[in-house]
Amino acid sequence: MRTINKKFAGAVVVAGLVAVPAGVALAGSVWSTGPDNTYGAANPFAAAVAQVHVVDDGSGGSTISLKLKGVDADPGRTFGAHVHRAACGVDPLAAGGHYQHTGATGSLEEREVWLDITVNGGGNGQSVTQRPWTIDQSTLRSVVIHALPTNEADGTAGARLACIDLDGTD
């Protein structure tokens, strides 16, 4: 297996997904680094490091984990984080809306990938979620970290602070 890493000074490092043809399932674990874009002058992720690990469980499901280190935010602050439909861009809206898995049922959260994360006194935190499906790789996806926790009623989470293209694998 090989690892593709893009390193940036003061980067948020996020692991994610590689774009492959439709219908191709993930095998093993998937990684990507970034951010490809950050938004806003006073960004709490300017010197942070983050890692997302997506693991195919071998039966059509996946586990997605997010770890943050060194976020410049008050202890106890929660940020929303979601897989989005498209790649990052200079415009914060380029990543489109939240990715929703075709055919998934249940609540909005169960049809999407939500990775809300609360930081501690050191600016560190972690989040894990499991889905009974894998993310469609036919289009490049991204992870967006938002300024607010996710609103369970409608999935909103405030301004977009960082965007990471999900384009690496190991």
- For residue 11, the one-letter residue type is A
What is the rounded average pLDDT of the residues 143-151? 94
88, part of any domain: yes
43, part of any domain: yes
24, part of any domain: no
The pLDDT score that the predictor gives to residue 148 is 97
166 vs 61, residue with greater confidence: 61
pLDDT of 97-134, one tens digit each? Answer: 999 999 899 999 999 999 999 999 999 999 999 999 99
Q: What is the pTM of this model?
A: 0.79
10, part of any domain: no
Rounded to the nearest angstrom, the gap between the alpha carbon of residue 130 and the centroid of all alpha carbons in its chain is: 13
Residue 86 forms beta bridges with which residues?
none
11, part of any domain: no
| Number of domains forming the structure of the chain | 1
Give residue 45's domain range: 29-165
The pLDDT score that the predictor gives to residue 117 is 94
33, part of any domain: yes
Query: What CATH number does residue 142 fall under?
Result: 2.60.40.200
7, part of any domain: no
DSSP 3-state of 49? strand
67, part of any domain: yes
pLDDT surpasses 60 at 12: no
